[in-house]
Amino acid sequence: MAKKTTTTPGKLSVYLYIPNIIGYIRIIMNCIAFAQCFSNKWLFSILYFFSFVCDGVDGWCARKFNQDRISTACLLVILSQVYRPGLVFLSLLALDISSHWLQMYSTFLLGKASHKDVKDSSNWLFKAYYGNRMFMAYCCVACEVLYIMLFLIAENQTENLMDVLMTSARQSPVLSFVLALSLFGWAIKQAVNIIQMKTAADMCVLYDINKKQKP
Q: pTM, whole model, 2 decimals? A: 0.73
Residue 2 located in a structural domain: no
- 202 and 163 assigned to the same domain: yes
Q: Are residues 67 and 94 in the same domain?
A: no
User: Which residues constitute the domain of residue 56?
Assistant: 11-73
**Do residues 83 and 139 share a domain?**
yes
User: Is 35 in the same domain as 139?
Assistant: no
Total number of domains constituting the chain: 2
pLDDT in tens, 75-129: 787 888 888 888 888 888 888 888 888 888 888 888 887 777 788 788 889 999 9
Q: Are residues 127 and 63 in the same domain?
A: no
Q: Considering 44, 73, 102, which residue would you say is the last residue of a domain? A: 73
Rounded CA-CA distance 81/192 in Å is 26
Q: Tell me, what DSSP letter sits at residue 2?
A: P
209 CB contacts (<8 Å, ≥6 apart)? none
In this structure, the answer to whether residues 106 and 127 fall within a common structural domain is: yes
CA distance 125 to 53: 24
Please name which of 77, 66, 91, 73 lies closest in space to residue 31, comparing C-alpha atoms.
73
Residues serving a catalytic function are: 68
- Give the end of a domain, one of 73, 99, 121: 73
pLDDT over 50 at 66, yes or no: no
